[in-house]
Amino acid sequence: MLSGGTPSAEPTASKEVAKTATSSAAPAMAAEVAPPPPPKPDPAYVVAAKTRKKIPFWAMATLSLLPVWAFFYLLAVSPQEREATGPMAIGEAVYGACASCHGAAGQGGAGRVLHEGEVLKTFPHIEDMLNYVYTGSQPFVSAGLAVYGDPTREGGAHAPLSYNGNAMPSQGETWGGGLTNYEILGVVCHERYAIGGADPKSEQWAAEFATWCSEDSEIFAALQSGAVNFDTLAETFSMLETPPREIGTQPRASK
């Protein structure tokens, strides 16, 4: 209180300031003690992952073997490539080089027609065909041989260089050819049976096929091993039920 008896306003002002301070602190205090908001719910994919059944431990070992099983399964069901064996298989592979002249199906072109029995009319005996394929046509001309194959051939005998003026290339080693004896036998078998039309089960051709062109042919096996050649083959296999005729590596008339 000031002199003169007038009451002082300071106490009242102090009380107002205190009241205001208390009022402003109340919300802050309330904010500090308010509970935290609830957590957001997990997304659906998280919930699914948490509730999904876990793979048992024992199953992991089984699953680890699946790649091995898949490998052997594919190996079992995949077709296996077989190596070409036997006269017919070897002959089919070799004939690819002959097809450029004789045609893929033996229909002819630069070389003679082989299909529909034509090659069988020319060479009733396989030995004569083996000799001609080995030597080729030019050695026949040089040896003064007027025809090759069957001289009484249906439709007329064939003369060297008479077809389009083209020579039959020599295939045997003696004359600069690139085929072995067993490869020549293989391609001749292919031309006679797969292309020429000879029936290996028929009475006419069964014996020849069994002796020369079957997978069990002793002659083919001996040629492949090098035990015999076209010059020695006839003598070596003279004990067969149907002995082979002479083949030879020099041009000769049919026998």
pLDDT at residue 13 above 50?
no
Asked whether residue 142 is domain-assigned, the answer is yes
CATH label of the domain that carries residue 174: 1.10.760
Domain that holds residue 182: 86-236
Q: What total of structural domains would you count in the chain?
A: 1
Burial level of 11, CB count in 10 A (0-12/13-18/19+)? exposed
pLDDT at residue 115 above 80?
yes
What CA–CA distance (Å, rounded) separates 195 from 186? 13
Q: Which residue has the higher pLDDT, 164 or 236?
A: 236
Local confidence band at 20 (pLDDT 50, 70, 90 cut-offs): very low
Mean pLDDT of the chain: 83
> Can you tell me the mean pLDDT for 222-247?
96
Q: Is 158 helix (H, G, I), strand (E, B) or coil?
A: strand
> Can you tell me the mean pLDDT for 29-33?
52
Cβ atoms 80, 175 nearer than 8 A: no
What CA–CA distance (Å, rounded) separates 41 from 67? 40
Q: Which residue has the higher pLDDT, 88 or 29?
A: 88
Q: What is the reported pLDDT for 67?
A: 72
> Can you tell me the mean pLDDT for 91-104?
96
Q: Is the dihedral of CA 82, 85, 90, 92 positive or negative?
A: negative
Q: What is the reported pLDDT for 195?
A: 98
Asked whether residue 130 is domain-assigned, the answer is yes
Provide, rounded to the nearest whole percent, the portion of the chain with pLDDT above 70: 71
Q: What is the reported pLDDT for 47?
A: 64
Q: Which residue has the higher pLDDT, 69 or 224?
A: 224
What CA–CA distance (Å, rounded) separates 222 from 180? 12
Asked whether residue 23 is domain-assigned, the answer is no
Asked whether residue 64 is domain-assigned, the answer is no
Q: What is the reported pLDDT for 53?
A: 63
Asked whether residue 32 is domain-assigned, the answer is no
Write down the pTM of the prediction.
0.69
Local confidence band at 172 (pLDDT 50, 70, 90 cut-offs): very high
Q: What is the reported pLDDT for 132?
A: 98
Asked whether residue 128 is domain-assigned, the answer is yes
Asked whether residue 56 is domain-assigned, the answer is no
Asked whether residue 18 is domain-assigned, the answer is no
